[in-house]
Structure 1
Amino acid sequence: MLKLFRATAILEGISYLALFGVTMPLKYWAEIPGPNKLVGYAHGVLFIAFIVLTLIVGLKHKWSIKKLFIFGIASLLPFATFYVEEKYLRTEETT
């Protein structure tokens, strides 16, 4: 389950960056809305999966409320899912 969560964290971060760094400018500056819709759907699914997996893995590993809160905030900030994957999930996998 932890490997799935790590992969979801990385994919969610990539989709976030693709959505706001690539497809939003295409939609509003180049008037090409198609990619934004597809990436937006993918990002939405990955965002929800990240939140659900945060709760599942957090409960399984008995994480503190603080750690769950950090993961929740990380889902909202660019690059933050990469940070929590590196800092918390890689070390969790080795313990």
Structure 2
Amino acid sequence: MIDFFRKVAFWEGISYLILLFVAMPLKYVAGHAEAVRIVGMAHGVLFVLFCVLLAELLRRKELAFGFGVFAFVMSLLPFGTFVLEVKMKKLKA
């Protein structure tokens, strides 16, 4: 389940960056509001899935509570899930 969580975290991070650096400029510079609707929906689904998986990993005690808080905070920051990936690789090693 941790491997699936890591994959979701990666794609959640990618979708966040696309939303911030592609869709938002398209909306506000080029007037293409549909870009934010489409990418925003995909990012929202991935973010909710990220949170559900994180909660389940914490419930199963596969991750420590402190690490879960760290993971959640990283999901809110651009490039944060990639920092999370590095930390999770160190946990696995």
| Superposed pair shares fold, TM > 0.5 | yes
In structure 2, the residue matched to 1:44 is 44
TM-score by length of 2: 0.89
Aligned AA (2:85): E
The answer to whether the aligner puts 1:72 opposite 2:72 as a matched pair is yes
**SS, match of residue 76 in structure 2:** coil
Distance apart, 1:61 and its partner CA: 3.7
Aligned AA (1:42): A
Aligned AA (2:34): G
In structure 1, the residue matched to 2:12 is 12
The answer on whether the counterparts of 1:13 and 1:82 sit within 8 Å (CA) in structure 2 is: yes
Distance apart, 1:60 and its partner CA: 2.3
Which sections of structure 2, spanning at least 5 residues, go unmatched?
none
Distance apart, 1:37 and its partner CA: 0.7
Distance apart, 1:93 and its partner CA: 4.3
In structure 1, the residue matched to 2:31 is 31
The answer on whether the counterparts of 2:19 and 2:40 sit within 8 Å (CA) in structure 1 is: yes
Which sections of structure 1, spanning at least 5 residues, go unmatched?
none
**SS, match of residue 75 in structure 1:** helix
> Quick one: distance in 2 between partners of 1:23 and 1:62?
35
For this pair of structures, how many residues does the alignment match? 93
TM-score by length of 1: 0.87
Distance apart, 1:56 and its partner CA: 1.1
In structure 2, the residue matched to 1:22 is 22
- Identical residues among aligned pairs (%): 41
